[in-house]
Amino acid sequence: MQRYCFIATATLLMWGTVTVAGAETLNWNVRSKFGISSQGIRQAIDEAKAHFGNAPNDVIVLELDEGTFYLEDQGDSKGTIDLSQIKPGPNGRLIFRGKGMDKTILVFSDNKHALYGRDVYRVTMTGLHMTRKDYTVSQGLVVETAPGKVVLEIQEGFPTPAMIFNPRSDQGRFLRRYTNSKTDPHLVQEDNDQIPWTRAVHLEGRRWEIELKRKSQVANYAKDALIGIKSKHGGTTEFGGQAYWFMGGSDFSFESVKWTQKTRGVFRGGFQEVKFLNCVTDRPPPINGQMPCLAAPGGGPQIGQPDDLPTSGNVVKNCRFIASGDDAVAFFNASGIISDCYIRDAFCRGILAANSPNAELSNNTVIRCPIQQTEDYRLPENQNRSPKNR
């Protein structure tokens, strides 16, 4: 039985608690004080930094109103919201608080990381939906297959393969088969390995020929099968960046935050005490009544990377990750907890714990995607065999 619920977290109750004599909690309404724009948020962060210089143990809450806000940024920063060098005192904190993941929506341009920071300490983001304007994945119905190619009729309204193609990388371009459902396509489990592709040629109308990496391969796709198409945008700001990218620091929390269109983010450089509580990655709304196969071309939260320093104190709890374009959640050389999460139809793995033997995985419902806890992060040969739900 599939079940999922959100559980309130005690950390939310601590925002207004004064733990140090003389410390205060300050609530700044960003719209009225600065304006909800990339420039206004940047000014709010700068003023918070200055305030922490004089009152390091204060808690500053940046209140974000209900509404949809488009954050365009053509500046030199690598992130639209740059949190570098945020470092309150040991009892201080910077909190970005929206009105709820379905009420405060931040729409980021795709020219850089949405959130970015080096040496970031004691930050919480809560009650937000972070997304981007354009669809980042596509899908189509099989017209024909032949050695080294698949011809697809792209479903009406979805981006063409050319629109999602990342010309700066030869990695992360794959096809997989889904059940042909308008309302909730699922990954097909049998004989459905990821098939790498290299380029797409427009034939006519919405019809495209997808050239496969293995020129002799004949895809095991029947006519009219529904195929999800991804071209991973990668980690470079030249082609989209990440939902978040942080290097060095500790104590960062996402609480009740939702991501669509751009879902993958990383904490690097031995970043300690990362928390995802009651968070969601999900597919964007249907196009012409057709639900997308994929949420985004990338995966979800990644704590560490294969060659990073060890990290500890991490918690991913009570989260819902649907149809991620890669690993739904990944630990690399990390300890902590992944528990009580509902994960399904991740394009690669539902949970990856690489070189993370002390990571505790418990009470997770994982459907149509494998759990992998191994020393090596690479896929085993039986990459598409999903374990029993656990």
Task: Determine, yes or no, domain membership for 381.
Answer: no
CA–CA separation, 297 vs 301, rounded Å? 13
341 and 278 within one domain: yes
Task: Determine, yes or no, domain membership for 387.
Answer: no
- Least confident segment among 106-115, 121-130, 163-172: 163-172
Q: Do residues 319 and 224 make contact, with C-beta atoms less than 8 angstroms apart?
A: no
- Mean pLDDT over 99-128 rounds to 95
Residue 350 domain boundaries: 10-133+237-374
259 and 188 within one domain: no
- Least confident segment among 13-22, 45-54, 195-204, 291-300: 13-22
- Mean pLDDT over 313-330 rounds to 98
Task: Determine, yes or no, domain membership for 2.
Answer: no
- Mean pLDDT over 289-307 rounds to 96
351 and 258 within one domain: yes
C-alpha 278: how far from chain center = 14
Task: Determine, yes or no, domain membership for 3.
Answer: no
173 and 153 within one domain: yes
* Residue 380 confidence (pLDDT): 81
- pTM: predicted TM-score of the whole model, two decimal places: 0.90
* Residue 73 confidence (pLDDT): 82
261 and 220 within one domain: no
pLDDT digits (tens, 9 = 90+) for 251-285: 999 999 999 999 999 999 999 999 999 999 999 99
243 and 223 within one domain: no
122 and 259 within one domain: yes
Task: Determine, yes or no, domain membership for 336.
Answer: yes
121 and 252 within one domain: yes
Q: What is the phi-psi region of residue 253: left when phi exceeds 0, alpha when psi lies from -120 to 50, beta otherwise?
A: beta
* Residue 163 confidence (pLDDT): 93
pLDDT digits (tens, 9 = 90+) for 219-263: 999 999 999 999 976 444 344 689 999 999 999 999 999 999 999
Task: Determine, yes or no, domain membership for 4.
Answer: no
101 and 148 within one domain: no
- Mean pLDDT over 192-198 rounds to 96
CA–CA separation, 99 vs 105, rounded Å? 9
User: Token match 């895809």: residue?
Assistant: 219
288 and 260 within one domain: yes
What the block records as the tokens of 118 is 């080096």
* Residue 166 confidence (pLDDT): 80
- Least confident segment among 73-77, 192-196, 297-301, 326-330: 73-77
Burial class (CB in 10 A: 0-12, 13-18, 19+), 64: buried
Per-residue DSSP letters for 191-240?
T---EEEEEEEEEETTEEEEEESSTT------TT-EEEEEE---S-GGGT
Q: Do residues 325 and 294 make contact, with C-beta atoms less than 8 angstroms apart?
A: yes
Element (H, E) at 164: helix 161-164
Last residue in a domain, options 200, 231, 262: 231
Task: Determine, yes or no, domain membership for 102.
Answer: yes
CA distances to 201, 252, 336, 340, 352 from 332, rounded to whole Å, are: 37, 17, 11, 20, 8
124 and 20 within one domain: yes
- Mean pLDDT over 364-387 rounds to 80
pLDDT digits (tens, 9 = 90+) for 54-104: 999 999 999 999 999 999 887 788 899 999 999 999 999 999 999 999 999
Residue 385 has pLDDT above 50, yes or no: no
Last residue in a domain, options 201, 231, 261: 231
Question: Which residues, 6+ apart, have CB-to-CB distance to 3 below 8 Å?
Answer: 342, 365
264 and 188 within one domain: no
Task: Determine, yes or no, domain membership for 227.
Answer: yes
The type of residue at 179 is T
Last residue in a domain, options 211, 231, 251: 231
Q: What is the phi-psi region of residue 318: left when phi exceeds 0, alpha when psi lies from -120 to 50, beta otherwise?
A: left
The total number of structural domains that make up the chain: 2
CATH number at residue 285: 2.160.20
* Residue 240 confidence (pLDDT): 61
Element (H, E) at 31: helix 30-33
CA distances to 100, 256, 339 from 66, rounded to whole Å, are: 8, 15, 30
* Residue 386 confidence (pLDDT): 40
Question: Which residues, 6+ apart, have CB-to-CB distance to 88 below 8 Å?
Answer: 52, 56, 57, 58, 59, 60, 94, 121, 122
What's the full length of the chain, in residues?
390
